[in-house]
Structure 1
Amino acid sequence: MTNMPLASSAITADTLAAFSDAFNRHDLDALMGFMTEDCMFDAAAGLDVHGTRFVGRDAVRAAFEAVFKSFPDAHWGHGRHYVAGERGVSEWVFTGTHTEGWRIEAEGCDLFEFRDGLIAVKRAFRKDRPKQPA
């Protein structure tokens, strides 16, 4: 299985699993290879109703990189991935230790929209749990 889809290929559950694997490797180049030039990422947290929105490869890449810097051991485990046409879902359990010393373990999911064999939109949702000591 390749880590980066071809633009002409259809997105499958295996594609989303490979995308998740790239997150767990903290591989920014591989992650951005899955996404359209004008991609959009809605983070799980933020002041707006949709969380914090990042638009375009540079902004999305910077948002992903910030997660890896804030949670150096970030991991999305127990992945389950589904695709229905131009939409998909990944379910996971996020675990990580924040650089401030607290730890998180929470279920979450991503809702995706696809275009031309790539991820155009990624919307993240995660359970809001109290901070736990590391």
Structure 2
Amino acid sequence: MSDTLKAASVTADTLAAFSDAFNRHDADALMNFMTDDCIFDAAGGNEVYGTRFVGKDAVRAAFEAVFKTFPDAHWGHGKHYVAGERGVSEWVFTGTHAEGWRIEAEGCDLFEFCDGLIAVKRAFRKERPKQVA
């Protein structure tokens, strides 16, 4: 990403573009939005914050694992908000798990920004029973 983009503030349009990269399953584009020391807290996991991934390599691997687990993963009906160095994206996640069951659930991401990039992404999603595909 250019120095001009890095110096700019994150906007709702930035978060919409980030969401578009998720829907393309484009890990390279996603990482261009994030700081080198980024943190991703996944929606599930054994810790109070879910499962935490730190640094671009770990975060990229976590995103790619989602794309592999849900080959048709899609985050639709996006609404994006920014207030200073924090932001929110609301969405409906749909996908078919590699084991064949489907999910449709509302969720959101809470973001923290640093120097015009995403430093922290915390994912939250409604827990729903598995749906037969």
Give the TM-score band, short-chain normalised: over 0.9
Secondary structure of 1:6 counterpart: helix
2:41 maps to 42
CA–CA distance in 2 between the matches of 1:25 and 1:57?
Answer: 19
CA–CA distance in 1 between the matches of 2:6 and 2:52?
Answer: 24
CA–CA distance in 2 between the matches of 1:74 and 1:9?
Answer: 30
Does residue 10 (structure 1) correspond to residue 19 (structure 2)? The answer is no
CA–CA distance in 1 between the matches of 2:56 and 2:26?
Answer: 14
CA–CA distance in 1 between the matches of 2:8 and 2:21?
Answer: 18
Question: Percent same amino acid at aligned positions?
Answer: 83
Matched letter for residue 101 of structure 1 = G
Does residue 84 (structure 1) correspond to residue 90 (structure 2)? The answer is no
Does residue 21 (structure 1) correspond to residue 12 (structure 2)? The answer is no
Matched letter for residue 32 of structure 1 = M
Matched letter for residue 21 of structure 2 = A
CA–CA distance in 1 between the matches of 2:71 and 2:7?
Answer: 34
Q: Which runs of 4+ in 1 moved over 3 A?
A: none
Gap regions ≥5 residues in structure 2: none
Shift in Å, 1:69: 0.1
Report Cα offsets for 1:80-106 as digits up to 9, x if no partner: 000000000000000000000000000
Secondary structure of 1:48 counterpart: coil
1:95 maps to 94
Secondary structure of 2:6 counterpart: coil
2:110 maps to 111
2:52 maps to 53
Q: How many pairs align?
A: 131
Alignment root-mean-square deviation, CA: 1.1
TM-score (norm 2): 0.97
CA–CA distance in 1 between the matches of 2:8 and 2:68?
Answer: 32
